[in-house]
Structure 1
């Protein structure tokens, strides 16, 4: 009860022990009702007990014990609302105000404190016994449940000692409990234990959404990450969409020589991080999972899988200040078309005109989350088209020039490519995937070269004619021609705003025409400027027009 609101406070304070004799202690409070007055008196009594304890404890032998090793200010804050047992309450009323006197007498109260201490000591001992077993699934919750019991027990013992009781020193301490929890959490051998470690602090939260994790260091843990995310979500009160959530869990997984490091951050709906949890999973926990590491071979993750053990974690919300170089991105070459693909790690980014300088249809900046995917490093060229369709898309065009086709022609090409590529699946890139790759994983940059500036010597635009694919330097992901050359078909139908699309893997399936990305259409316009080829710039076109190219996405296995 707030003492200022109650408008009290005077008290009579008598030390508990005078010349070795136990005496009583009382405090007084007032309020607008008898309940308020009683609560005020008990609160004041608790506070004055703490003050009395504080005045004596610095000279006490117990100061060297763990129960009393806090600073004076810390101890006082902890004991300012001590549990009061067996106090006598007297209440009087005058002119609509109530006056309560709370009196604590050692002869009456001490037996109650000793009884409660015995009960809590047994509860603490039982929790500790369970916490010493080797099964972390049972041990960890028991140890965590022991911490509040120990806190309450210490407060009761504090009062009992100053009521004159002689109590043995506790052998179970906060340090011993936390050390045991840390020992059990270190390198758990099963997914179930790791899930419990991460889920336990958040299992009572309402409306949690668990985002697909960011994978660091190796694509090999893709399937493992999916299994872990599913089991983690099953332990929480999860909702199916981020928009329905009150809390968000964003995680990243890093495979190292020691195992898999898993880190999750709990955020509120504003994106503010509230808590973080992490666990390092031992290799034995995922040795048995069959995961695909390439389109043609399956392998198992083993403890010999090695990445720099000192590699740092990077989360969905903490983007690295420097982009990864092309050599750090896994690559794959399609044996049918000869086209190279780069693996794009999924994650979160702000899609749209983040610099406030674009057209109305890109002004709506929104949060988007993407799964990982593979994307072709270049636009489809004439040679790749001919390998699939049996003839080039255009006559008199060099084999390395990008094709210029209608949307229907692009879809026929992909259909046939899927038919002749056993075990593979290809499709058009979505608008969100295109912008994410153009901006090197959602970095806040304007152009496809990873910078905020671009020149005619870095990209095919303005007076420069369409060039062979890969003629200019790639971005840090090893991807070419995102700013300039031909505009590229995307899988999205055109809408003036993408604000109403899902946050996870958005795809517009209704609208007039399709979205183009890449800016190459400005080659035909007088006065073309670099702003037309920004990563967020959008164009609309009828599906029957045949002057646009395509970039392919390969399903992430």
Structure 2
């Protein structure tokens, strides 16, 4: 899971900006807290990556490929070309099943204020320190085996509120304004400040075993190179809660500046599939859905946040 340090909300007690135009992340940790708590708090702040605000085209920006490679080549081995190429055809990155609504459209301009975002997904080790310190039960303690609860793997199987409560706990103990990222902030960061790419990898494209996992299980955080912004695991590994309510038509009505999502709804937006343009959605109180088909680690609706 990832949390977001946002300068767009209330002023931070320690000041929102540093001299270099970046968000201030130097904090004083209460030394009376248990050492393991102090470690999690310091690590969370040190791992924040500054994301300079700006404008970008949000949504399924697609790509131009040749008709020949689409019709004659092996699946996925497309030849990418400029839109003025004589054999160019536009291809969306997000494919919906027949009859399903295309929720990653229309492409629309979004302008964001600067913020920061955790470079790694929050691990079970970190989240367990939080639950033990706040005297909450360990997350799905009886539903995950030892292999799934390895300390360095991303925490998952929590509700949206549990994810947000962790962000608030970090904020309360660091003096910073920490929350889940909005859907727009998540996509802007995954695309390294809105680059026209569909994958949050170092190259903007996937290569299994080199910059993205095989999809056969959840891997340790940071197992592959980060995207150019310095954020790890933005494509695949696990899906992640974001702040917004979900509305399939929201892209057609989204405000341009710092969109926060609909005012209400029945489901929350979820991001983090392989294609970072894809939108998912789940009820905020969604429970883990562990099946024999996918087992404990490969379920397609694993839902963490980021911090």
TM over 0.5: yes
- Residue 488 of structure 1 contacts residue 548 of structure 1 at CA under 8 Å; is this kept in 2? yes
> How far apart in 1 are the matches of 2:184 and 2:24?
25
> How far apart in 1 are the matches of 2:243 and 2:276?
17
Q: Partner residue of 2:170?
A: 417
- Residue 199 of structure 2 contacts residue 276 of structure 2 at CA under 8 Å; is this kept in 1? yes
Displacement of 1:409: 1.3
Structure 1 position 551 matched with structure 2 position 306: yes
- Residue 382 of structure 1 contacts residue 403 of structure 1 at CA under 8 Å; is this kept in 2? yes
Displacement of 1:385: 0.9
How high is the TM-score relative to the length of structure 2?
0.65
Unaligned runs of 5+ in 2: 1-16, 29-37, 63-91, 97-101, 289-301
User: Residues 275-424 of structure 1 correspond to what in structure 2 (within 5 A)?
Assistant: 293-296=24-27, 336=41, 338-339=43-44, 340-355=47-62, 356-358=92-94, 359=96, 360-390=102-132, 392-395=138-141, 396=146, 397-404=149-156, 405-421=158-174, 423-424=175-176
CA root-mean-square deviation = 2.4
How high is the TM-score relative to the length of structure 1?
0.37
Bigger share in helix:
1
Q: Partner residue of 2:235?
A: 483
Bigger share in strand:
1
User: Residues 101-500 of structure 1 correspond to what in structure 2 (within 5 A)?
Assistant: 220=19, 222=21, 293-296=24-27, 336=41, 338-339=43-44, 340-355=47-62, 356-358=92-94, 359=96, 360-390=102-132, 392-395=138-141, 396=146, 397-404=149-156, 405-421=158-174, 423-457=175-209, 458-462=211-215, 464-497=216-249, 498-500=251-253
Equivalenced residue count is 217
Structure number with higher relative contact order (C-alpha < 8 Å, ≥ 6 residues apart):
2
Structure 1 position 517 matched with structure 2 position 258: no
- Larger of the two Rg values belongs to structure: 1
Displacement of 1:219: 5.0
Deviation string, structure 1 residues 154-195 (Cα, Å, up to 9, x no partner):
xxxxxxxxxxxxxxxxxxxxxxxxxxxxxxxxxxxxxxxxxx
> How far apart in 2 are the matches of 1:540 and 1:504?
23
Deviation string, structure 1 residues 469-509 (Cα, Å, up to 9, x no partner):
11111111111000001100000111113221211111113
Deviation string, structure 1 residues 227-276 (Cα, Å, up to 9, x no partner):
xxxxxxxxxxxxxxxxxxxxxxxxxxxxxxxxxxxxxxxxxxxxxxxxxx
Deviation string, structure 1 residues 130-151 (Cα, Å, up to 9, x no partner):
xxxxxxxxxxxxxxxxxxxxxx
Unaligned runs of 5+ in 1: 1-217, 224-291, 298-332, 520-532, 553-557
> How far apart in 2 are the matches of 1:357 and 1:534?
7
Q: Partner residue of 1:507?
A: 260
> How far apart in 2 are the matches of 1:551 and 1:465?
19
Q: Partner residue of 1:522?
A: none
